[in-house]
Amino acid sequence: MKGIYPGSFDPIHNGHLDLIQRASKLFDHLTVAVYSEPEKNILFSAEERVKLIENSIDSNINNVDIVVFSGLAVEFAKNLKAEFILRGLRAGFDFELEFEMALMWKKLQPDIDVVCLMSSLEYQFVYSSRIKEVSRLGGNVTDLVPSNVVDALKVKFE
C-alpha cells in the first residue's frame, strides 16, 4: 500500500512529524508531498521545506520520501500510483475542510481513498501559521518544532 501526505509544511512541525511517523507504520511507502506554490503566505521555499523535513524525520523511518509537487494532490497521487492520501485532523475546524476535500478528490479519482489520522492531543492546537507568527514575534516554539526548524525560523526573522 502506498500513500501520500500532501501539504505546504511551511514549516514542518511536531504534529506533522507525529503523523508521518504513525503513517509510516500503516503504509508500505509514504511520500510526503510538499506543495510548491500554495495560496498562502509562504516563508520557506519548496527546496527549504524539503530540507527541513528531510532533517526532521527520524532516521529509523526508511519507507518515507519527500518530493515537491504542483497541481492537484489527487492527480499527483494517481501519477505515483498511490492508493491513499493521508490527512491529519485537529479538533473541529479541520473536519469540515478535510471532508469537503475528500469528497472532491473521490469525485476526481474514485480509486484513491483519503485516510485521516487524528492529531495527537498535544498537537491539536499546532498550526504552521501560528508557529510562524509566534516565532516572528519572538516567542518560544522549541516544543512545537524540531530544532533545525527553530534555527531556520530564527534566521528568517532576524
Query: What does the angle CA 42 – CA 48 – CA 51 come to, to the nearest 5 degrees?
Result: 140
Coil/strand/helix, residue 79: helix
Query: How many angstroms separate the CA atoms of 74 and 85, rounded?
Result: 8
> Is residue 49 annotated as part of the catalytic site, yes or no?
no
Instruction: Say which residue the cell 518544532 belongs to.
Output: 145
Query: CB neighbours (10 Å) of residue 132?
Result: 20
Given 40, 129, 136, 154, the catalytic residue: 40
Active site residue 136: no
Judge whether 128 counts as a catalytic residue: yes
Please tell me which residue in 2, 51, 90, 130 is annotated as part of the active site. Answer: 90
**Annotated catalytic residue, options 119, 128, 132, 135:** 128
- Is 90 catalytic? The answer is yes
Give the DSSP H or E segment for 7: strand 2-7
Q: Report, as residue numbers or ranges, the catalytic residues.
A: 16, 40, 90, 128
